[in-house]
């Protein structure tokens, strides 16, 4: 069975490749929703479903996997920053505190059956000052990452610890995705 990852994320691609899955990538044209009135897990699963549905509509013979990762702090979802000023503001907000990373996943099987799930990971940040944020930005591009950081990209500079799955913070709870793909045969 063909498996399609409906995502432009290089991190998701790397995670699935490392898991040994054979898949192709078709970037979803779906627009993400960032509404703080929607509970975190529901919002991530909703966005994952929008992404998967847009691709599945064109590839009905494939198992299509959509995913959405958000950073959540103070009741606010943090997606990808628009620019470096917003990225800096996000890291200032996260500095010295804990936040939740949620990845929602939606798998759409040939024939239209759906399976959606999410995973949560708590992340604790070190206290951050402008000098450290600037140094971190010198090592990674914050503009293509939810919350303006990538735990796999010099994350030790800013992350103090996590409670949960590392790969979930990267953008995909791989074990559960592999389980879902395995069920499909």
DSSP conformation class of 156: G
Higher pLDDT, 101 or 182: 101
Exactly one of 35, 61, 68, 144 is catalytic; name it.
68
- Bridge partners (DSSP) listed for residue 162: 123
Joined tokens for residue 8: 């432009």
* Cβ-proximal residues to 111 (8 Å cutoff; 6+ apart), any chain: none
Q: How confident is the model at residue 185 (pLDDT cuts 50, 70, 90)?
A: low
CA atoms within 13 A on the CB side of 117: 14
| Region 10-24 average pLDDT | 94
Catalytic annotation present for 74: no
DSSP tag of 62: S
Question: Tell me: the pLDDT tens digits for 120-145?
Answer: 999 999 999 999 999 999 999 999 89
What pLDDT, on a 0 to 100 scale, did the predictor assign at position 34? 83
Q: What is the largest CA-CA distance in the chain?
A: 53
How far are the Cα atoms of 36, 62, 168, 184 from residue 114, in angstroms, in the given order?
Answer: 25, 12, 20, 11
Question: Confidence class of residue 30 from pLDDT cuts 50, 70 and 90?
Answer: very high
Q: What is the pLDDT of residue 149?
A: 95
What is the structure's pLDDT at 127? 97
- Which residues are CB-contacts of 171 (< 8 A; sequence separation ≥ 6)? 9, 11, 12, 15, 67, 69, 103, 146
- Rounded mean pLDDT of 94-107? 97
d(CA 73, CA 93): 8
Q: What is the mean pLDDT of the chain?
A: 95
CB atoms within 10 A of CB 130: 10
Tens-digit pLDDT profile for residues 49-79: 999 999 999 999 999 999 999 999 998 889 8
What CATH code is assigned to 3-184? 3.90.950.10
The mean per-residue pLDDT over the stretch 147-160 comes to 94
Q: What is the pLDDT of residue 93?
A: 97
Indicate whether 162 pLDDT > 80: yes
Rounded CA separation 90/92 (Å):
5
């Amino acid at each position: 069975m063909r498996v399609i990852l409906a995502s432009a994320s290089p991190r998701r691609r790397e995670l699935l490749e490392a898991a040994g899955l054979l898949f192709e990538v078709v970037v979803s044209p779906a627009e993400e929703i960032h509404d703080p009135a929607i509970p975190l897990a529901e919002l991530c699963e909703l966005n994952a479903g929008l992404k998967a549905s847009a691709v599945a509509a064109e590839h009905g013979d494939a198992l299509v996997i959509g995913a959405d990762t958000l950073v959540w702090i103070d009741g606010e979802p943090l997606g990808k920053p628009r620019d470096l000023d917003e990225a800096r503001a996000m890291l200032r907000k996260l500095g010295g505190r804990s936040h939740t990373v949620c990845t929602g996943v939606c798998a759409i099987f040939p024939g239209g059956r759906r399976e959606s799930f999410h995973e949560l990971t708590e992340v604790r940040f070190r206290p951050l000052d402008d000098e450290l944020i600037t140094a971190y930005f010198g090592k990674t591009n914050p503009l293509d990452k939810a919350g303006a950081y990538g735990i796999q990209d010099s994350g030790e500079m800013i992350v103090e610890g996590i409670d949960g799955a590392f790969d979930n913070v990267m953008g995909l709870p791989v074990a559960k995705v592999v389980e879902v793909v395995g069920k499909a045969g």
